[in-house]
Structures are given as structure tokens and as C-alpha cells.
Chains A and B, each alone.
Chain A
Amino acid sequence: MLIPLLLGLPLFSGTMLLLGRPARGAVVAGTLAAAGTLGVAVAAAVERPVDRVPLLAGIPAGFAVDGLSGVLVILVPAVLLASLLVSAAEPDLRTGRFHALMLIFAGAMLATVTSTTLPPLLMAWEVMGATSWALISYQLDDPRAARAGTVAFLTTRTADLGLYVAGGAVLAGSAGTMALADVATLDGGWLHVAIGGIVLATLGKSAQLPFSFWLSGAMRGPSPVSALLHSATMVAAGGYLLLRLAPALDAAGWAAPLVAWVGVATALLMGLVAVVQDDLKQLLAASTCAQIGFIVLAAGTAGTQAGLLHMVAHAAAKSVLFLVAGLWLAALGSRSLSGGLRGAARRHPIVGTAFTAAALSLAGLAPLSLWVSKDAVLAAAATTSSGLYVAGLVAALVAALYSGRALWHVWQPAPTTGTAGPTRLARSATAVNVVLAVAAMGAGLLALGPEPLRPQPPPHAGELVVSAALALAGVLLAWRYADRMPDPAALEGWLRLEPAARRWVARPVLRLAALLARFDERGLARVPERTGRAALALARRTDGVGERALDRAVGGVTGGAQALGRAARRPQTGRLHQYYAQASVVFALLGALAVLLIAVR
């Protein structure tokens, strides 16, 4: 009963809001639904329900809340509730459509994390992508937002094709019920096909290299959307699925190292991208890719608990950062760190402090939560390869750099010119951010808590000291050189991944499409017409040549017959003596013929 309620409450209330589009009351209804979902989620995390309904022939839709999914089952509605509470401060977002899409997204995300068979997972997975599209292009009159939504959906769906193929592979590899738990034991080559497909889909959804660029465009959506979908939950879903399937990654052999290295490379490179962004939301987005890189790294090195811990800690910290960025954007009208956001924290000291707490946690400063979770991830990585560990440490330093740089800008003395004075922020929004910031600082304590979050292996004290020192050094370095950092264009442009995708994928496909369309319209479509013409021409020719010849032939035959007839009439004269003469000539000829025949014999 809990599973239908858990998934049904957000999905149903969202659909009702979408269909009804009430003029007022959407905020209350949406917030109540989110709160209700959170309540059900807590109960589900305690009760651990399992459910299974028939879906396709022999393939059920299975759902379960276990240790791993239980953590996310609580995390998703919690961030949803926080995002909705903060978004109520923005008049544009007080609509039924916004709340409906956020609720449907949350329902889909809950279904994703609780699925135990592949079809419902894929279904929820793609619905998340669609709500992400709708929420990125929420501002309907902004064509750039619509384009960004399209890019995001198409990029993630490209990767999702992997899940479609994986579905077939799981079936072919003899897991007839398509249970996720059976993936690790598939037969022969199908294991590799299935894992390959799943890895592709997860890297796309989690905006890992080389798919990261879609997250940059996704920042055109409202900030609460970025907080919920594009940092705390949806992009983390890829990492979550990899964590869940870590044993299967191991079974495939090549997959675990691949995933680990892609994760650490994203953590490093996207961290560097974040360092040079002037747009605060772009900085946070790049940092999201980088931080989820740590989760992916954990999945590749069997650090399931560490990855989950990092997911929770990052979700709390990043949602504060995005929500505050959204409040500042609404109040100050800017996302530029060196421009309108200069001194923003001084204007709004309470949310500024919440922002600072979350940013310092993101930097990995001891004793805040990401310090613990990142080291847990790195401890797992160290057991696999020291190369991964060192690369991860460098990525951690980079995280401290971009966090410190953002902090430096928002704490600069505010320019005296410009806006008249501090615009008041909504009290509820401020309160939510303070609560979240406290959670973001303290989430590291969960490492001592329930079993799914207790890292195996635990980080050594030495590692913890090294990374704490690195983080502090990074923040101080950033503070010192914040306005003098080099900004290579390639890094500022997100490694130019999107132009590359346009140039090497989108454009050739569009060109091929145009070419085929021309052939279809001018070539293929004319075939019947040409055939018809050819048939007509053939008919005319038959009429002109064949028919006349036939006519002549028929004429010839009749003419010949007439001539023969005339000739045959000639001997019939009716005179007896002439008949005798004819007979004697014939007999003479016959006689001569007989003599000739005998002579020849």
C-alpha cells in the first residue's frame, strides 16, 4: 500500500494540477502534496515495502524500498518541499503548471529509485527527462530556454538509447523478468551489452563527460528547478543507478574501471570549468557535474555507501546554493559574480551566511559534510588504484578553488551605486535556506549513522587530514587570487562540447535528412508518375508501331487469302477439255515425281 501511495501521491496530484490549472491555490496544493509525499516517504523508508504488478508478458513492474533506495526516497521529497517553499517567493513560479511539473518529476524520480525491474525504471527515467525539458523551457516566451530544453532532452535521450538496448539484452541474456538484480548474472555477451547500455544512459543523465554540456543550457530554467532536478536529484539518478548496479559493473570487468575514470575525469575537468565561470549558476552547474563525478567514481570502485553519502551531502549543499542564487537573481537581477552579485552576501547577511556554509561544505572544509563524504569516496578509490586517488585529490582541491572564488565575490564590499538598497527576501525562503544549510553542514554525521551510509572502507585519519589541508589551502588561494584567475576560453565554454556535438552529430544528421528528403520527394515520389508516363508512352508506341504492324499483318493475311482465293478460282473454268488438260499435266508431274523418287531410292 505504501508504494502506490508514495508514487501515486506526487504523480496524481501533479497531473490534477496540470489538467486543472487552478488560478489560485496551486502553491498551497503543491506544497501540501510535497509535504504529504515526504511523510509517506519516511514511513516507506522505515517499513521497506516491496510491490510488484504485472506489466508486460512475464515481465512485472517491481518496486521496493531498501536501504539504498530508502535514503533517496526521503531525500527527493525533502528537496522538493524545500524548492517549492522557496519558489513561492517568485511570482512567476506560483502557477499550477510549475507545481505540477515539479510534483510529476518527483514522482518519476521516486519510481526510478525504487524500481527493481528494468521497464518501470526506464519509464520513470524518461519521464524525468521530459519534465526536465518542460521545466527548463518553463519561460514559454524565451526561445533560448526552449532550445536549451531541447538540447538537454535530446542529449540525455541519446544516452537513454542504451537503456532500451539493455532491456533487450537483459531479456536475451535469460533474465526473463528483467529484474535489475539479475543483471550481474546474464549469459555471455549479453552481460556486456546490457552493462554498456546502462553505463551510457547513466553517464548521459548524470551529465558526465562527454555529455556534460546539456547541464549548462539547463541553467536557463528557474533556479528552484536547478536546485531540485539539475543538482540534487535527477542528475544524481545516473550515479545512483551505477551504485545500485556496482556488482554488475564488477562482473563485466571493463565497466568498473571505465566508470571510475570517467567519474574522476569529470570531477577534475568540470571542476576546472567551474573555476572560471563568472555566471554563478554556470559555476554551480559545472560543479554539479564535478561532484557527481565523485559519486560515479565511487560506483566504479565499489564504494556504494560512500557514493550514497556524498549524494546526500552534495544534494543538501547544492540545493542551498542554487536556491540562494535564485533569490539573488530575483532580488538583484544578476547572476554575474563580478557584476551584480558583488557583495550580495553583505546585502542579505542571513542567506549570505547560509550560502557561505554550503559553499564551504562544497569546498570540503573540515569538519563539514563534503569533507567526510569525499574522503570516503577517495578511500574506496585508493583501494582500487592510487592514480584514481591522486586524481580525486586534485579534483578536491579544484572544488575548494571554485567555492572559495564564489565566496570572495559575494562578500566583497557592495558597490554603493546601483540599486537603492537591499530588497527584502521572503522570510519563508530565508528560513528554508537556513535549515538546509544546517543540514548541509551536518550531513557528514550520517557517516556514523545507518548502515547504507556508513562508508566501507572508512577513510584513514591521514587521508582526512591531507584533504582538509588541501581544502583550506584551496579556499585561501582562491580568496587571494579570486579576481586574477586566468580564464582560458575553452574552459569558460565548457570545453566546447556543445559546439562539437552540434558540428559532428546534429549537423550531419540534419544534412542527411535534407538529402534523403530531397531524394524522397524528387526521386522516389516520382517513380509512380514516371512509371505511369512510361506506361502511357509504351501504350502510344504500341498503338503507333505494334498496332499498325498488327493491322498490316492482319491485312496481309486477309489480302493473301483473297489472292489465293482468286488464284484458286482461275482453273475452275467449267470447260471439260481444260480440266482434262489440267489433269494430264498433274498426272505427268506425279509420274515424273514417282520416277524421280524411285531413282533416288
Chain B
Amino acid sequence: MLSLIVFLPALVAAALSVLPARLGPSVFTGAWTATGLVQLALVGAVWADLPATGYGAVERREWIPSAGISYHLGVDGLSLPLLALTVVLFTATALYSWRQSDRPKDFVLLFLLLQTVSGGLFVSLDLILFFLFFDLSIVFMYFVIAGWGTGAPAREAALTFFLYTFLGSLALLVGFILLALAADTPTFDIPTLAARNPLAGGGTYAALTLLAIGVGLGVKTPVFPLHTWLPPAHTEAPAAGSAILAGILLKMGTYGFVRIAMPLLPASWRQFALAFVIVGVLSVIWGALVALAQEDLKRMIAYTSVNHMGYVLLGLGAAGMVSADSEHARELATTGAVYQMVSHGLITAALFLLAGALHDRGHSYAISAYGGLATRIPRFAALFAVAAFASLGLPGFSGFIAEFQIFAGALDAVPLSTVIAVTGVLLTAALFLRATSRMLTGRFRVPDTPGTPRPFPDLRAPELLAIGPLLLLATLLGLLPRLVLDVIEPAARTLNDLVAR
């Protein structure tokens, strides 16, 4: 079942590749959308069958037995929400790209491959398989940015992105090998390693392993100070690429922490939990402050991602601060961190798609170039305002549920860091309200450079169909959190038990 979900997009891509490119965009985007919808139904079936504990829908085949590598797939409460997020975001992106006019065939094929790779990563239960998907995501995203970005700067940004994250993935590989070699019989199997806990004693070897894995995942997440590839990549990427980059690819980093770093290196995680908390808080504050100073809408959203991912690290770090009666708090912190991954994916993807829709019309991301949009394009304005408020953590949207749990869970363990991180909520409010009121209210103003089309239409049906459901889901998760918490909480408890042993 999982194999089908993961490789369905790749199969569709293979089938589409034989079709001639002149067929027009709707054939390709239509097939892409249909793929996403089928995947969505399949994920729904997996969700319904998820066991209360352990992994569901497990598949395992020998691959390279001599090195302890197997093709091992499975989902639990940590990965299933992210798998669902992947499918939802790709489907939304497909709808958004309905009118893709620039080389639609290549564009769709590339995204379908990226879709397979992203889904595959979240269900991998083998380190090498995980690494493979991790690396391929970088390769495909490089082509998206370089091929559909805005010219020469895009290629440069794509190269920076590639080199930076690729180097990170090398560190990750080193960490994985160190981890596998620590077991009596080398194995890359994640559940086996978690059960055997070969580095239970901690020590320098374990610390170096955590360092390598932490740097590898930290680049991808990204955390301060490894985040500088992110803003240029986002600025130059096409809207669909940005949405997937922020919504899915960043989660690969944070997901790696909960799937690999924490359960496989529990002793070191506990030992260095404070370091992760500090990196998280630095990311929160740095990301928010730098975002506040941005004049470019996309760069601003990109930096808020650094801020939001910082909360995840704060929560996960706090979950490593094990003490006698901290069980409830640590459960909240871990659950909140996982919830934040899903929430950020939905909201930030919506924001990036909105920014893309604006760029399609005005050919500029400069915040100061726009004004009074609410009077002329009310649907855009309404969705942008909703997305902005969702992103600044307003209750009623998913971000609040995530951040509140993280703060509540972390305060006892790391009071000072948490109080500092809470101010991030205020900074994001400031930056989003600033952008919102500058762009949406006042006199109507749009960039008036030559080549700007005169009419400035409101959001069209494909854009609405892509962005609306994302925000609807963010609202649903904000009002009825039990829908997803019931899945995440048992897995979070299991994870915390693994960390605390």
C-alpha cells in the first residue's frame, strides 16, 4: 500500500513522459491533480487502519542484506500526518499550476518525481532509504529552481541551495554510517536501531554522531546559522517550488529529528538537549527579527519559516529535558512540535502560493509596490489576511495549537528560553500586520513598470481551489485539533519513552 502511494506519481510520470509536449498544459496538470487525489484516498485508507501503537502498513524486503540495508516502509503517528500533508500540498500545487505555460510537461514530470521522493522520505524506516530520498529531493528541487526561476540569479540561488543542502546531506550520511556501525551487526534499520539502542551509553562517539546528524538535518530545517540558503532559494523559485520547498522539504529536516536523532541517540539527545533548545530559540528570534526588516514579500515569508522551525526545535529540545514529573509537559512539547510541522506546511504553502499569484499580476515581490489591494481584489486580500493571521499564530488556526503546546510544555524545563521564544509570537504579529496593512489597505497601488499587464484581476478558480482548502485545513486543525492529535499523541508518548530510557 505504501509503495503504491509513494511510487504512484513516479509511475504516472513515466506514463506521461511518452506523451508529446505539445498536448498542452491541462493534460499534464490534470493527470498530476488526479494522481494527487488518488493518493489522498489511499492515504485516507492508511489513516483509517493505523494501529494504536507501532507502525502501520509495514512493507519490508531485503535489499543489500550484507550491509544491513533493507527496503523498509511503515507509518506511525509522527509520519502519517506528514505523509498526508505531502499529498495535500502537492495536490494544491497541481491545482495552482493548472495554467502552467512554461514547459508544462517537464514541470509536471519534475514535480511528480519530487512527489514520490517526498512521500517516500516520510515512510522510510531505513536510514539509507531515508538518505536516498533526502538527497533526491535536493536534486529535483535544484532543477525546479534553476529551470523555472527568474533567470541568472535563479541559477545562482539554485546552486547555493544545492551545494549547501548537499553538504548537509553528506554530514547526515556520515552520521548514519557512524550510527549503523555502532550496532553489533551493522544495520541501517531504524526500528532495529531504536530497539537495540547501541549508543545508550552516550560518550564522544555518540556525541559526534549526533553532531553530524544534527548538522545535516539542521541545514535542511533550516536553523540559525545554517539558514542562509533559504531566502535566495525562495525568492528565485517559482511559487509552486517555494510552496513545496517550505511546506515539505523543510519538514524533512525536522522530521529527521523525531524519527532518527531522538529515538536512536537518546542519551546524547538528553545530554545536548539544551543546545538544541538554544539553537531553536535563536532561530525563533533571528528569523522573526530579520523577517521584520524585509521589504521583499517572499524573503519575509522565507525568514518566518526559520522562526517557525525554531519553535519545533525548542519543543523537541525541551522534550529531551527529562525529569521526574515532566511526562505531561514533554508530551505536550513533542506533540506541539509535530503539530507545528503540519501547520507550518499548510499555512506557509498558502502564503507562498498567494505571493506567487501576486507576482503573476504585478511582476514584483516588493511590499512597498502594492497598496489598497483589498479594495480591488478582495478575494486575494481576504485569503492573504487569513493566511497572515494563521501564520502569526492566531488561535482558531493550527499554528496556535502547535505553539501553545510547545510553550506550555517547555516552560518548566527551560523557563528563560521559553519566555524569550514567546516574544517571537509578537514579532511575527508585527511583521505580518505591517505587510498586511501596507499591501491591502490605503489607496490602490500596483507596480507600474512597462510590461505589467493593465488589468489586475482577482484570484481565479484554480488559485482559489489551491489556496482555499489549505487555509480551510489550517482552520479545521485550529478548531478541532483532536482530529490529528489523536494520531500524534500516542506516537509522541512512544518517542518520549524512547528518549527517556
Interfacial chain A residues near B433, Cβ < 8 Å: 133, 149-150, 153-154
Complex CA gap A134/B427 in Å reads 19
Query: Which of B10-18, B249-257, B285-293, B351-359 lines the interface with chain A?
Result: B285-293
Contact A513 B289, CB 8 Å, known A141-B443, A154-B433:
yes
Complex CA gap A172/B407 in Å reads 11
Contact A57 B407, CB 8 Å, known A140-B441, A146-B442, A516-B286:
no
Within 8 A of B (CB), among A538-597: none
A448 sits at the interface (CB 8 A): no
Within 8 A of B (CB), among A91-142: 119, 122-127, 130, 133-134, 137, 140-142
B134 sits at the interface (CB 8 A): no
The digit string for B403-429, where 1 denotes a CB below 8 A from any CB of A, is 011011111100000110011011101
A525 sits at the interface (CB 8 A): yes
A534 sits at the interface (CB 8 A): no
Are A146 and B425 within 8 A (Cβ)?
no
Complex CA gap A520/B423 in Å reads 20
Interface range on chain A: under 10, 10 to 19, 20 to 34, or 35 or more?
Answer: 35 or more
A421 sits at the interface (CB 8 A): no
Interfacial chain A residues near B374, Cβ < 8 Å: 140
Are A524 and B225 within 8 A (Cβ)?
yes
Choose one: B293, B400, B437; the contact of A510 (CB below 8 Å).
B293
Interfacial chain B residues near A143, Cβ < 8 Å: 437, 441-443
Are B411 and A169 within 8 A (Cβ)?
yes
Are A126 and B394 within 8 A (Cβ)?
yes
The digit string for B458-497, where 1 denotes a CB below 8 A from any CB of A, is 0000000000000000000000011001000100000000
Are B429 and A168 within 8 A (Cβ)?
no
Are B441 and A57 within 8 A (Cβ)?
no
Are A532 and B163 within 8 A (Cβ)?
yes
* CB-nearest residue of chain A to B306: A520
Are A509 and B482 within 8 A (Cβ)?
no
A465 sits at the interface (CB 8 A): no
Interfacial chain B residues near A168, Cβ < 8 Å: 407-412, 418
Are B442 and A130 within 8 A (Cβ)?
no
Complex CA gap A528/B228 in Å reads 9
Query: Which of A158-166, A357-365, A479-487 lines the interface with chain B?
Result: A158-166
Are B429 and A176 within 8 A (Cβ)?
no
User: Shortest Cβ distance from A133 into chain B, in angstroms?
Assistant: 7
Within 8 A of B (CB), among A29-65: 54-59
Complex CA gap A124/B440 in Å reads 25
Interface size on B, residues (CB 8 A): 57
Contact A122 B395, CB 8 Å, known A143-B437, A164-B404, A528-B228:
yes
A527 sits at the interface (CB 8 A): yes
Are A55 and B481 within 8 A (Cβ)?
yes
Interfacial chain A residues near B332, Cβ < 8 Å: 56-57, 59, 171
User: Shortest Cβ distance from B419 into chain A, in angstroms?
Assistant: 6
B160 sits at the interface (CB 8 A): yes
A536 sits at the interface (CB 8 A): no
Complex CA gap A124/B395 in Å reads 7
User: Shortest Cβ distance from B80 into chain A, in angstroms?
Assistant: 18
Contact A525 B228, CB 8 Å, known A150-B433, A171-B332:
yes
Within 8 A of B (CB), among A350-373: none
Are A165 and B430 within 8 A (Cβ)?
no
A147 sits at the interface (CB 8 A): yes
B375 sits at the interface (CB 8 A): yes
User: Shortest Cβ distance from A496 into chain B, in angstroms?
Assistant: 21
The digit string for B350-379, where 1 denotes a CB below 8 A from any CB of A, is 000000000000000000000010110000
Are A123 and B164 within 8 A (Cβ)?
no
Interfacial chain B residues near A140, Cβ < 8 Å: 372, 374-375, 440-441
Complex CA gap A520/B226 in Å reads 11
Complex CA gap A595/B478 in Å reads 101
Interfacial chain A residues near B430, Cβ < 8 Å: 154, 509
A167 sits at the interface (CB 8 A): yes
Complex CA gap A350/B60 in Å reads 83
Interfacial chain A residues near B228, Cβ < 8 Å: 520, 524-525, 527-528
* CB-nearest residue of chain A to B386: A18
Complex CA gap A137/B441 in Å reads 8
Are A57 and B442 within 8 A (Cβ)?
no
Complex CA gap A202/B164 in Å reads 47
A28 sits at the interface (CB 8 A): no
Contact A146 B395, CB 8 Å, known A172-B329, A517-B294, A528-B160:
no
Are A164 and B481 within 8 A (Cβ)?
no
Complex CA gap A140/B384 in Å reads 14
B343 sits at the interface (CB 8 A): no
* CB-nearest residue of chain A to B411: A168
B122 sits at the interface (CB 8 A): no
B396 sits at the interface (CB 8 A): yes
Are B426 and A161 within 8 A (Cβ)?
yes
* CB-nearest residue of chain A to B164: A528
Interfacial chain B residues near A146, Cβ < 8 Å: 437, 440-442
Complex CA gap A524/B425 in Å reads 24
Complex CA gap A122/B205 in Å reads 45
Are B293 and A154 within 8 A (Cβ)?
no
User: Shortest Cβ distance from A145 into chain B, in angstroms?
Assistant: 8
User: Shortest Cβ distance from B436 into chain A, in angstroms?
Assistant: 8
Are B331 and A122 within 8 A (Cβ)?
no
Are B335 and A157 within 8 A (Cβ)?
no
Choose one: A153, A161, A169; the contact of B425 (CB below 8 Å).
A161
B61 sits at the interface (CB 8 A): no
The digit string for A170-203, where 1 denotes a CB below 8 A from any CB of B, is 0110001010000000000000000000000000
User: Shortest Cβ distance from A100 into chain B, in angstroms?
Assistant: 11
User: Shortest Cβ distance from A438 into chain B, in angstroms?
Assistant: 37
B103 sits at the interface (CB 8 A): no
Are A127 and B481 within 8 A (Cβ)?
no
* CB-nearest residue of chain B to A21: B378
A512 sits at the interface (CB 8 A): yes
Complex CA gap A146/B423 in Å reads 23
Complex CA gap A126/B332 in Å reads 21
Complex CA gap A503/B323 in Å reads 43
A514 sits at the interface (CB 8 A): yes
Choose one: B292, B389, B408; the contact of A130 (CB below 8 Å).
B389
Contact A171 B412, CB 8 Å, known A55-B481, A153-B429:
yes
Interfacial chain A residues near B410, Cβ < 8 Å: 168
Complex CA gap A46/B4 in Å reads 58
Within 8 A of B (CB), among A301-357: none
Are A127 and B396 within 8 A (Cβ)?
yes
Contact A165 B229, CB 8 Å, known A150-B437, A513-B290:
no
Are A167 and B407 within 8 A (Cβ)?
yes
User: Shortest Cβ distance from A498 into chain B, in angstroms?
Assistant: 15
Complex CA gap A524/B290 in Å reads 12
Complex CA gap A532/B160 in Å reads 10
Choose one: B401, B407, B482; the contact of A164 (CB below 8 Å).
B407
Cross-chain pairs A/B with CB under 8 angstroms, 10 sampled: A126-B400, A134-B385, A164-B425, A169-B411, A171-B408, A172-B329, A178-B408, A509-B427, A509-B430, A516-B286
Residues of B bordering A, CB below 8 Å = 160, 163-164, 225, 228-229, 231-232, 286, 289-290, 292-294, 328-329, 331-332, 335, 372, 374-375, 385, 389, 394-396, 400-401, 404-405, 407-412, 418-419, 422-423, 425-427, 429-430, 433-434, 437, 440-443, 481-482, 485, 489
| Given contact pairs A141-B442, A178-B408, A528-B160, a sample of 16 additional A-B residue pairs in the complex whose CB atoms are under 8 Å apart | A56-B335, A56-B405, A123-B400, A133-B433, A140-B372, A143-B437, A143-B441, A146-B441, A150-B434, A154-B433, A157-B425, A164-B407, A165-B418, A167-B411, A171-B411, A525-B232
**Which 6 residue pairs across A and B have the least CB separation, nearest first?**
A168-B411, A123-B395, A172-B412, A517-B293, A525-B228, A146-B441
